[in-house]
Amino acid sequence: MRITVCLTDTRPESWIEGLRAALPDAEVSAWTPDAAPADHAVVWAPPQAFMDQQPSLRGIFNIGAGVDALTKLRLPPEARIVRLDDAGMSVQMAEYVCHALIRHFRDFDGYAADARDGRWSYRKPNVRQDFPVGVMGLGVLGQRVAKAVAQFDFPVKGWTRSPKQIEGVQCFAGHAQLDAFLAASRVVVCLLPLTPDTRGILRRETLQKLHGGRPGGYVINVARGGHLVEADLIPLLDDGSLAGATLDVFETEPLPADHPFWRHPKIDVTPHASARTQREESIAQIAGKIRAVEAGGDFDRIAGVVDPQRGY
Ligand code: NAP
Ligand code: GLV
C-alpha cells in the first residue's frame, strides 16, 4: 500500500515519520509531481495538480476537521474524503470559545485597562440570563462547545441542518428556524462547515437579528472566514448594533497587515489558532482508519467520511 503526503503550510517530515511508524507495511512518502500513484493521501489544502496526478486514490485523509479546501477540487473518481474526527480539537475549541465569551461577559478587557492605569474600580456585572449563546453547527466541535458553555449556566441555543435533541440546548434547525435562533441568541458562535449553503451566513441581515434586533449582539467566528461577510461587520460595530467580535478565521489568511480588523477596538483577532491539529493523535486516528479500510472495511464504516452531497 502506498501513502502520499501533501501538506500545504506544514512540514511533512514528522507526519511521514509518524505514519511510517504507525503503518510499517505501507510505503509513505512526500508527494512530488512525478510520484507513483498512491492508494491513500494525507493532505492539507493540496493543489488541483495533486488530485489530477493521483488518479488511483481511494482515501483522502484531511489533517483538519474542515474539508472546504478539498470539496472545491476535482477529485479522483473513486476517492472518498475523510475528515479528522476531533483528535484533540474539540477541547481546544471549547476553551477558546469559553474564553472569548467570558472575557466579553465579565468585561475582563475593561479590568485590564483599569489595571494598566492603576485604577481600582468595579464594573456593573452582567446578568447571565441576558446572555444566551447560540452555537451554529452542533457537530463534533459545536456540541462540545455548547456543553462547555452550558457548564457556566449561560442559556444555550443551537442551530443545525437536521433537527436535534440535546440536553441543556434549545435546538433550532434549517432555514425556517434561523430567524428564531438568531433572535434568541445574544452571542453567536459559528462552528459550521463552509459549504455553498453556509457561505456568508453571518451578514448584515442575519447579524441585525441577533438578540431580537436589540444592541449587544456579539460574534465569535471560529469556523471559516467565508462564513462572515467581512464588509458588513465594522459598520454594525460602529453604529452600536453589535457589541464586539472575536475572530479566528478570515476570508484571506494570513489576515493582511492593513486589514481594519487588526486595529478595530471592538474586534479581537487570533491567527486561525482556536483548535490546532494535534499531530500524534491525528496520525493515530488516520492510521487506524487506513488499517480498517485495508482490512476489507468499507469507507462507510469509518467515522468522518464526508458526504459529497452535503459537502461536510
Ligand atoms: P461537523 O461535525 O461536520 O458539524 C457540522 C455541523 O454544522 C453539524 O451540526 C451540521 O448539521 C451543521 N450544518 C452543516 N450545514 C448546515 C446548514 N446548511 N445549516 C445548518 N447547520 C448546518 O463539523 P465540526 O467538526 O464540528 O467542525 C465545524 C467546522 O469548524 C469545520 O468545518 C471547520 O471549518 C471549523 N474548524 C475550525 C478550526 C479552527 O482552528 N478555527 C478548527 C477545526 C475546525 P447536522 O448536524 O444537521 O448535520
Ligand atoms: C482547521 O481549521 C480545521 O479545519 O481543522
Same domain, 140 and 254: yes
Same domain, 129 and 256: yes
Same domain, 108 and 254: yes
Work out whether the CA dihedral 302, 148, 233, 174 comes out positive or negative.
Answer: positive
Query: Which ligand 1 atom sits nearest the alpha carbon of residue 83?
Result: 25
Instruction: Please name the residues in contact with 105: beta carbons below 8 A apart, sequence gap of 6 or more.
Output: 126, 128, 131, 154
Same domain, 126 and 243: yes
Residue 41 and residue 59 in contact, taking contact as beta carbons nearer than 8 Å: yes
Same domain, 79 and 199: no
Chain centroid to Cα 301, Å, comes to: 24
Same domain, 114 and 222: yes
- Rounded to the nearest whole angstrom, what is the distance from the C-alpha of residue 139 to the centroid of ligand 1? 6
Task: Establish if 43 belongs to a structural domain.
Answer: yes
CB atoms within 10 A of CB 66: 18
Task: Establish if 45 belongs to a structural domain.
Answer: yes
Domain, as residue range, for 97: 90-269
Bridge partners of residue 268, in order along the sequence? 246
Report which secondary-structure segment, H or E, holds 41: strand 40-44
Q: pLDDT by residue for the chain (312 residues), tens digit each?
A: 999 999 999 999 999 999 999 999 999 999 999 999 999 999 999 999 999 999 999 999 999 999 999 999 999 999 999 999 999 999 999 999 999 999 999 999 999 999 999 999 999 999 999 999 999 999 999 999 999 999 999 999 999 999 999 999 999 999 999 999 999 999 999 999 999 999 999 999 999 999 999 999 999 999 999 999 999 999 999 999 999 999 999 999 999 999 999 999 999 999 999 999 999 999 999 999 999 999 987 898 899 999 999 999
- Rounded to the nearest whole angstrom, what is the distance from the C-alpha of residue 21 to the centroid of ligand 1? 31
Q: Could you say which ligand is closest to the alpha carbon of residue 225? A: 1
Residue 82 and residue 71 in contact, taking contact as beta carbons nearer than 8 Å: no
Question: How far is it, in rounded angstroms, from Cα 263 to Cα 285?
Answer: 39
Question: How far is it, in rounded angstroms, from Cα 23 to Cα 284?
Answer: 10
Question: How far is it, in rounded angstroms, from Cα 216 to Cα 154?
Answer: 16
Report how many domains make up the chain. 2
Same domain, 135 and 261: yes
Minimum CA distance residue for ligand 2 atom 1 = 64
- Rounded to the nearest whole angstrom, what is the distance from the C-alpha of residue 188 to the centroid of ligand 1? 14
Mutate which of 247, 277, 285, 306 for ligand 2 pocket (most atoms within 8 A of beta carbon): 277
Task: Establish if 302 belongs to a structural domain.
Answer: no
**Looking at the annotation, which residues are catalytic?**
224, 272
Query: Which ligand 1 atom sits nearest the alpha carbon of residue 163?
Result: 47
In this prediction, residue 301 carries a pLDDT of 85
Same domain, 162 and 291: no
Ligand 1 pocket by Cβ (under 6 Å):
64-66, 89, 137-142, 159-162, 191-195, 197-198, 222-224, 248-249, 272, 274-275, 312
The model carries a pTM of 0.98
Same domain, 96 and 69: no
Minimum CA distance residue for ligand 2 atom 4 = 66
Residue with cell 449563546: 133
Whether the link from the prior residue into 47 is cis, omega within 30° of 0, is no
In this prediction, residue 297 carries a pLDDT of 76
**Which of 264-267's residues contact partners 24+ apart within 8 Å by CB, and which partners?**
264/234, 264/237, 266/237, 266/242, 267/233, 267/237
Residue 287 and residue 82 in contact, taking contact as beta carbons nearer than 8 Å: no
Residue 93 and residue 275 in contact, taking contact as beta carbons nearer than 8 Å: yes
CATH number at residue 136: 3.40.50.720
Same domain, 124 and 195: yes
Instruction: Please name the residues in contact with 8: beta carbons below 8 A apart, sequence gap of 6 or more.
Output: 44, 45, 46, 47
Instruction: Please name the residues in contact with 263: beta carbons below 8 A apart, sequence gap of 6 or more.
Output: none
CB atoms within 10 A of CB 75: 18
In this prediction, residue 43 carries a pLDDT of 98
Task: Establish if 309 belongs to a structural domain.
Answer: no
Ligand 2 pocket by Cβ (under 6 Å):
64-66, 277
